[in-house]
Structure 1
């Protein structure tokens, strides 16, 4: 008898086999950037005597603070205003420091290479900036594998709006229903669902408690697709 986890993996592999194109999220899916970002915010909250629960922080993951902003929330909690330019500059330094030796998450490079060998078109759709995403893709030597990279500074609404995924599908020349999305966040999973795309959700240590009920399949790691 197969377990629910095994059934989900088999379903995910079948989705991958059927896909005519694959669209990847970036943060938390290809590189474990989200824990460093969360930790930087948690330190700011702790300095003000407040915790930052992961279930609360998950509201902003995948949406670029558009739908919930930790800074706004902290100001409401403390009834104070902060110099966010200074704080965010320090946070960015901490994030860069914490991610200095970060690489691709397990299974990512092998999956991308296998898809490329099979001639499957690939794209990235992210609510982060091109500077951030393109910088990482180039640093990790995987940019050439992607036919399109769509980010928030392309002038599109961020996730959970489906616009980023729909634009990526358009750039790949594929109908949305034939593009498989790989996501790690609730907002990203919702965006893919709204775009009419099958979506495999792969939670990480920051997003593991989020709601993935809209996912077509949910697995534990990209390695399970190999």
Structure 2
């Protein structure tokens, strides 16, 4: 299994943003049309672009709603954390001389705002954001763009994510997928799943030895 690149989703995989994303989206929808939507009804928004999530909720002025959603996220910044074991995982991958990258549904602006403040951002050599492709997860375009930039073949990548959209994106791009069960919980079932970042690190070390 000659992986050359280990590629990660961000939300629910590297950082725990579920509470912040869902509650800020609840606030946004309530401000727009007065509707109160339950946490469970909004889990679909985890893993797709903010634009697509708002469109599925029937919001007409997407640009204004995105701006409001981003401002509402600020109220929940303190709830966002790096998952336990992620830094150690990244150190292991680096020691194995494998490339480390990101394919995310965040825009570059959202990525800078939500992610780059954490002390793990320096590990990532290649980052594909939503504004780098016309089509987004679950379409294959983000991973195809990553392969274009890194000059890697599909069988040389392992994509780690927590959502059905991540898994479908990998499948459509013929890329191997590993489920970050530490972020997905019981929402998604996948053939290859890792309960903790330490399990993934151990698996990669064994395949490399």
Q: Report TM bin, short chain.
A: 0.7 to 0.9
Higher relative contact order (CA 8 A, sep 6+): 1
* Structure with greater Cα Rg: 1
User: Can you give the 5+ residue segments of structure 2 that lack an aligned partner in the other structure?
Assistant: 202-209
Q: How many residues align?
A: 199
Please list, as runs of the form range in 1=range in 2, the aligned pairs for 1:47-196 lying within 5 A after superposition. Answer: 48-54=34-40, 56-65=41-50, 67=52, 69-70=53-54, 73=57, 85=64, 88-100=66-78, 102-196=80-174
CA contact (8 A) 1:200 1:218 kept: yes
TM-score, length of structure 2 as denominator length: 0.79
> Retained in 2: the 8 A contact 1:26–1:126?
yes
Question: In the TM superposition, what is the alpha-carbon distance from 1:22 to its structure 2 partner?
Answer: 0.5
2 CA distance for matches of 1:96 and 1:220? Answer: 30
Runs of 4+ in 1 over 6 A off after TM superposition: 81-84
> 1:208 maps to which residue?
185
Give the CA RMSD over aligned residues: 2.8
Confirm or deny: 8 A CA contact 2:140 2:170 kept in the other structure.
yes
Alignment equivalent of 1:217, drawn from 163, 167, 192: 192
Matched, 1:198 2:176: yes
Q: Normalising by structure 1, what TM-score?
A: 0.74
Distance 2:57 2:114 in 1: 29
Q: Which has the higher strand share?
A: 2
Shift of 1:95: 1.5
Task: Give the whole-Å Cα distance in 1 for the aligned partners of 2:51 and 2:114.
Answer: 22
